Amino acid sequence: DSGVTQTPKHLITATGQRVTLRCSPRSGDLSVYWYQQSLDQGLQFLIQYYNGEERAKGNILERFSAQQFPDLHSELNLSSLELGDSALYFCASSVTGGRFNEQFFGPGTRLTVL
């Protein structure tokens, strides 16, 4: 158990809908990362937050947004969902967010868009 929690575990929804994925980092970790894992694209970095502020952005679509709250939990919002958004979404956390820091991964949220 990494100490990173993600809810829900599974999510099934329809095209055009909006969903919110939630992540609680390990106690003491200030940085949160979001990743998307799909069969065709592999593991892709989406976005990183550090202590409430956006630090780095990867291949995140404009339909997706995220934020980190004062209690350091984070939410990833996915809107106008398409079939291709079906994937496993991972959250990870690290102590400071530096490039030497180990990232601890949550168990993931499996999103299925029908």
Partner 1 sequence: AQSVTQLDSHVSVSEGTPVLLRCNYSSSYSPSLFWYVQHPNKGLQLLLKYTSAATLVKGINGFEAEFKKSETSFHLTKPSAHMSDAAEYFCVVSDRDYKLSFGAGTTVTVRA
Interface with partner 1 by CB under 8 A: which residues?
A: 2, 4, 33, 42-45, 48, 55-56, 58, 90, 92, 97-100, 102-108
Q: How far is the CB of 45 from partner 1 (least distance, A)?
A: 5
CB atoms under 10 Å from CB of 104, counted, come to 18
The smaller minimum CB distance to partner 1, of residues 45 and 95, is found at: 45
Residue closer to partner 1 by CB (options 92, 111) is 92
Query: What is the DSSP code (8-state) at residue 54?
Result: E
3-state secondary structure string, 3-18? CCEEECCEEEECCCCC
Contact call for residues 104 and 92 (beta carbons, < 8 A):
yes
Question: Closest separation between CB of residue 16 and partner 1, Å?
Answer: 28
Nearest residue (CB) to partner 1, 18 versus 57 = 57
- 24 or 48: CB nearest partner 1: 48
CA dihedral sign, ordered 104, 26, 54, 13: positive
Q: How far is the CB of 99 from partner 1 (least distance, A)?
A: 4
The least CB distance from residue 84 to partner 1, in Å, is 18
Q: Which helix (H) or strand (E) holds 94?
A: strand 87-94
